[in-house]
Amino acid sequence: MKKHTSTKKDIAQQFMLGRSCGQCTFGEYAGELGLDLDETDRIAACFAGGMLMGQTCGAVTGGLMTIGLAFEDVDEAHEKAQEFTKKFAERHGSCLCEKLLGCNVGIPGEKEKAIAEGKLVGLCPGFVVSAMELLDDILKDVDGV
């Protein structure tokens, strides 16, 4: 599978257009996995902001969706998913959106505050690119579906 090509700047621009961390991560691999960008964006729509409640980071859930689609064997997918989440947490200290951003964007007013403070455009694109780097390594021997 091809390596990601999006940069932090590209992801920040996508955020400004209304796409989320999960959509950007999952969408990066859409074509090679047999889906188009509209499909992956709809699938990942409710995973932003830690599933809209500050839980698992959307970049991580987008990565998990990618792994689930890339590996036909469920046991192998689970093994790769555990590897991915472990490495992401080691790199960033957590897989939880609330811990990564220092606020829970699922609480009314917190998302607006995070936007005003520049956290979403300032931090989240880095998490997305990091997830893609980890995915590139995990998916390097996988052929597109």
Q: For residue 130, is it within any domain?
A: yes
Contacts of 64 (CB under 8 A, 6+ apart): 81, 84, 85
User: Over the stretch 57-103, which tens digit does the pLDDT of each residue have?
Assistant: 999 999 999 999 999 999 999 999 999 999 999 999 999 999 999 99
Q: For residue 58, is it within any domain?
A: yes
Which residues share a beta bridge with 56? 96
Q: Is the pTM of this model over 0.85?
A: yes
Q: How far is CA 144 from the centre of its chain?
A: 19
Q: For residue 2, is it within any domain?
A: no
Number of domains in the chain: 1
Domain residue limits at 128:
8-137
Q: For residue 144, is it within any domain?
A: no
